[in-house]
């Protein structure tokens, strides 16, 4: 392997030459304490920055084995170190005034959620940091001296203060690991107790603003009603108390602006662990929970929505329902069926984002428009059988229809941001219309899930597969956009990168095996579990960092991809 002295000579050699001569630097260099690997060099100063890696021997890094011995610990430490690396970039890098992205150093910017990511990878023998550097240019020529400063001053300082255990704040990293341990403990504990969610007393649920996931200052902390309070004895903090939501059908009711959606939003993201100070550290939801909503305009391919919709006026097949432009109700039906197909056992629904005609039909309307003339069986008639026959629970925000009292196990009222258990009152007000209606029908939940993923979903052009992502809601594959605005449980842009790679991985490795979409995604997930998220990074040259999405979001992306090839 070449070493740092050779690299310095190379830098001097190419100084002032055309920008392309930076390409000569590609390769690995021994820096004594670590290896610097220049994996990919950008073509010009304005292109996406060059990709570099630091590989440091575990003994050198000195993290105690006990701190990184299990999957959840590795995730916690890797998350911690990514944030620290990010912080240290700002601390140690100097601004250079020159062309394009010159001199920019970047690593993944972590959201409030703690995810497995490829920015810092803890392997058996070493720790790897993946980051980006904009190779400095003056006009379109190499500014070698500036890159020399970055590689010989800035990066060594960052490494020294991020990847060497004795130099970092040990208490903080240990706390992070303990926090995740507590969160994982609650996760397993709620499952054991037949709960689908836990919200600790004292949690801060509202966020600072629509564009900031930081906690709202001066918010009213959450407090469980006594009747719903459960206690969990967690490993590092002892007894904690909070509201337990049981399996079944739970309603969140209350006046407008009283905190209903805020509670549901916190539950949506409770599928992930959160960092300390977030306020939702101990808001823990069943891992498989999916937020479903109406999403008109989306495409649907061969999805069986007949449970909700049949006898369409145009005679359209609803067992293999296909459209390029779904309506509010058909999209919400498909979203529910696809969530169940992705093995979700908890549905989260907010009336704010639902199609009214999908959610309810009241008695008067039922009398005026006979069943034969109405293709939609509203969710209110399905939510109960879904639980009793398929063990699928629902948490619903519903401020406007008391008919739902009939089908609820638990009714929580949000009153000035305070949760109250009003189940008894709600049940005493019940009119029983819906129960009569359901009782008469005896709905059998029978959904045909046998959709097989076909070859050609991800097509390789002569340039390979082009995957680009934007923000939290767009994946662009070969210029076809996947719109994920309605998939609300994506929290990190790098999850979208991962989804793109996983789709490509599946196309390359699993076609011809006659797998359903769910099986294919599960297989890819197994590979990730065994070899880490990085193992599915198969696109040479242009790959970005990744963070782990859930199976549910991967399937959601497939289902919204207009080039999806799927048969039934
Ligand atoms: P709803 O869905 O009942 O109409 P929201 O959940 O949208 O109400 O909440 C309305 C507003 O109240 C939001 O701006 C939210 O940030 C704020 N809010 C919610 N919960 C709290 C709380 N615990 N303390 C302070 N403000 C809150
Ligand atoms: Mg609301």
467-493 per-position pLDDT tens digit: 899 999 999 999 999 999 999 999 999
C-alpha distances in Å from residue 305, one per residue of 300, 309, 329, 389: 10, 6, 10, 17
- Tell me the three state secondary structure of residue 425: helix
CA dihedral 538, 542, 548, 551 (to 10 degrees): -60
- Band of residue 316 on the pLDDT scale cut at 50, 70, 90: confident
Provide the pLDDT for residue 541.
47
Q: Which residues, in sequence order, are CB contacts of 488 under 8 Å at separation 6+?
A: 268, 291, 293
pTM for the model stands at 0.96
Q: 415 CB less than 6 Å from ligand 1?
A: no
Identify which of 351, 339, 429 has the alpha carbon closest to the alpha carbon of residue 395: 351
Q: Which of the residue ranges 211-220, 225-234, 529-538 would you say has the lowest mean pLDDT? A: 529-538
Burial 449-466 (b: 16+ CB within 10 A, else e): eebbbeeebbeeeeeebe
Tell me: pLDDT of 190 over 80.
yes
- Structural tokens at position 334: 């498909």
Q: 205 CB less than 6 Å from ligand 1?
A: yes
What is the H or E stretch that residue 296 is in?
A: none
- Band of residue 36 on the pLDDT scale cut at 50, 70, 90: very high
Q: Given ligand 1 and candidates 257, 263, 413, which is best to mutate, with the most ligand atoms within 8 Å of its CB?
A: 257
Q: Compute φ and ψ for 70, nearest 5 degrees.
A: -130, 165
Tell me: pLDDT of 173 over 80.
yes
Protein residues near ligand 2, an ion, with CB under 5 A: 261, 352
Q: pLDDT (tens digit, 9 = 90+) per residue, 264-308?
A: 999 999 999 999 999 999 999 999 999 999 999 999 999 999 999
Pairing relation of β-strands 467-470 and 474-477? Answer: antiparallel
Q: 258 CB less than 6 Å from ligand 1?
A: yes
Q: Which residues, in sequence order, are CB contacts of 561 under 8 Å at separation 6+?
A: 299, 457, 477, 480, 482, 503
Which residue stretches of 442-488 are H helix?
none
- Band of residue 436 on the pLDDT scale cut at 50, 70, 90: confident
Q: pLDDT (tens digit, 9 = 90+) per residue, 126-160?
A: 999 999 999 999 989 999 999 999 999 999 999 99
Distance 138 CA to ligand 1 centre (A): 51
Provide the pLDDT for residue 544.
75
Provide the pLDDT for residue 537.
82
Give the C-alpha separation, 162 to 84, whole Å: 6
Q: 223 CB less than 6 Å from ligand 1?
A: no
Q: 260 CB less than 6 Å from ligand 1?
A: yes
- Tell me the three state secondary structure of residue 253: strand
Percent of the chain at pLDDT exceeding 70: 98
Tell me: pLDDT of 401 over 90.
no
CB of 137 closer than 8 Å to CB of 102: yes
Q: For residues 238 and 461, which has the higher predicted lDDT (pLDDT)?
A: 238
Inter-residue long-range contacts of 14-18, CB under 8 Å, 24+ positions, other chains counted: 14/142, 14/144, 15/142, 15/143, 15/144, 15/145, 16/141, 16/142, 16/144, 17/141, 17/142, 18/140, 18/141, 18/142
DSSP 160-201: HHHT-GGGS-HHHHHHHHHHHHHHHHHHHHHHHTTEEEEEET
What is the H or E stretch that residue 387 is in?
A: helix 383-390
Tell me: pLDDT of 540 over 60.
no
Which residue stretches of 193-327 are H helix?
260-269
DSSP 510-538: STTS--BHHHHHHHHHHHHHHH-GGGG--
- Structural tokens at position 341: 């197909």
pLDDT, average across residues 157-179:
97
Give the C-alpha separation, 426 to 434, whole Å: 14
pLDDT, average across residues 422-438:
87
Q: 417 CB less than 6 Å from ligand 1?
A: yes
Q: For residue 277, list its beta bridge partners.
A: none
- Structural tokens at position 465: 């597969």
Percent of the chain at pLDDT exceeding 90: 84
Distance 231 CA to ligand 2 centre (A): 29
Tell me: pLDDT of 74 over 90.
yes
Q: For residue 28, list its beta bridge partners.
A: 37
Give the C-alpha separation, 170 to 180, whole Å: 16
103: left (phi over 0), alpha (psi -120 to 50) or beta: left
Among the atoms of ligand 1, which is closest to the Cα of residue 262?
A: 6
Identify which of 363, 361, 368, 404 has the alpha carbon closest to the alpha carbon of residue 384: 404
Provide the pLDDT for residue 100.
64
Distance 259 CA to ligand 1 centre (A): 4
CB of 528 closer than 8 Å to CB of 499: no
- Band of residue 373 on the pLDDT scale cut at 50, 70, 90: confident
Mean pLDDT of the chain: 94
């Amino acid at each position: 392997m070449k070493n740092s002295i050779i690299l310095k000579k190379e830098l001097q050699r190419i100084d002032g030459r055309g920008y392309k001569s930076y390409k000569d630097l590609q390769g690995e260099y021994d820096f004594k304490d670590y290896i610097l690997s220049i994996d990919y060099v950008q073509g010009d100063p304005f292109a996406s920055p060059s990709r570099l890696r630091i590989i440091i021997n575990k003994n050198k890094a000195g993290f105690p084995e006990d701190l990184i011995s299990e999957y959840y610990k590795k995730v916690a430490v890797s998350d911690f170190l990514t944030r620290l690396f990010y912080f240290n970039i700002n601390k140690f890098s100097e601004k250079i005034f020159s062309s394009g992205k010159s001199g920019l150093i970047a690593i993944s910017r972590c959201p409030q959620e703690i995810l497995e990511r490829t920015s810092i990878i803890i392997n058996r023998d070493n720790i790897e940091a993946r980051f980006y550097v904009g190779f400095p240019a003056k006009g379109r020529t190499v500014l070698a001296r500036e890159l020399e400063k970055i590689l010989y001053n800035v990066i060594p300082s960052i490494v020294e203060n991020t990847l060497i255990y004795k130099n970092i704040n040990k208490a903080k990293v240990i706390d992070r690991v303990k926090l995740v341990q507590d969160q994982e403990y609650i996760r397993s504990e709620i499952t054991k107790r037949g709960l689908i969610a836990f919200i600790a007393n004292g949690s801060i649920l509202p966020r600072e603003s629509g564009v900031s996931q930081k906690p709202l200052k001066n918010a009213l902390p959450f407090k469980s009603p006594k009747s719903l309070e459960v206690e969990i004895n967690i490993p590092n903090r002892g007894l904690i108390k909070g509201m337990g939501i049981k399996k079944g059908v739970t309603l969140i009711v209350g006046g407008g602006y009283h905190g209903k959606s805020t509670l549901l939003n916190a539950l949506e993201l409770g599928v992930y662990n959160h960092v300390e100070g977030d306020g939702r550290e101990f808001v823990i939801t069943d891992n498989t929970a999916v937020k479903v909503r109406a999403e008109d305009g989306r495409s649907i391919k061969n999805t069986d929505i007949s449970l909700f919709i049949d006898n369409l006026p145009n005679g359209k097949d609803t067992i293999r329902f296909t459209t390029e432009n779904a309506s509010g109700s058909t999209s919400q039906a498909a979203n529910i069926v696809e969530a169940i197909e992705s093995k979700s056992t908890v549905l989260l629904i907010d009336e704010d984002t639902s199609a009214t005609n999908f959610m309810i039909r009241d008695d008067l309307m039922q009398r005026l428009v006979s069943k034969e003339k109405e293709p939609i069986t509203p969710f209110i008639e399905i939510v109960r059988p879904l639980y009793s026959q398929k063990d699928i629970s629902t948490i619903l925000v519903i401020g406007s229809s008391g008919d739902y009292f009939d089908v609820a196990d638990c009714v929580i009222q949000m009153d000035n941001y305070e949760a109250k258990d009003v189940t008894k009152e709600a049940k005493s007000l019940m009119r029983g219309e819906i129960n009569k209606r359901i009782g008469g029908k005896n709905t059998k939940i029978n959904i045909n899930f046998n959709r097989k993923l076909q070859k050609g979903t991800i097509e390789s052009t002569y340039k390979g597969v082009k995957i680009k992502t934007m923000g939290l809601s767009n994946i662009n594959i070969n210029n076809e956009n996947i719109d994920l605005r309605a998939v609300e449980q994506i929290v990190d842009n790098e999850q979208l990168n991962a989804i793109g790679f996983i789709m490509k991985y599946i196309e390359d490795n699993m076609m011809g095996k006659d797998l359903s979409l769910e099986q294919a995604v599960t297989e890819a997930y197994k590979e990730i579990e065994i070899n880490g998220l990085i193992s599915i990074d198969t696109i040479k040259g242009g790959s970005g960092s990744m963070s782990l999405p859930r199976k549910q979001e991967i399937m959601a992306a497939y289902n919204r991809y207009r080039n999806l090839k799927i048969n039934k």
